[in-house]
Amino acid sequence: MTNYTPTEMMTVTAARALGNQDVCFVGIGMPSAACNLARLTHAPEITLIYESGTIGTKPDVLPLSIGDGELCETAMNTVPVTEMFRYWLQGGKITVGFLGAAQLDKYGNINTTVIGDYDNPKVRLPGGGGAPEIATSCGEIFLVMKQSKRGFVEKIDFVTSLGYGKGGDDRASYGVTTKGPSRLITDLCIMEPHSVDKHFIVTSIHPGVNRDDIIAATGWQVEFADEIAQTPVPSDHELQILRDLHARTNAAHEGQ
Tell me if 11 sits within 8 A of 62, measured CB to CB: no
Query: 3-state SS of 11-63?
Result: HHHHHHCCCCCCEEEECCCHHHHHHHHHHHCCCCCCEEEECCCEECCCCCCCC
Q: How far apart are CA 201 and CA 209, in angstroms?
A: 16
Tell me if 113 sits within 8 A of 41, measured CB to CB: no
Query: Annotated catalytic, 51?
Result: yes
Selected catalytic residue, list 8, 45, 51, 83 = 51
One-letter identity of residue 50: Y
176's CB contacts (< 8 A; 6+ apart) are 136, 162
> How many C-beta neighbours within 10 Å does residue 125 have?
17
Residues designated catalytic: 51
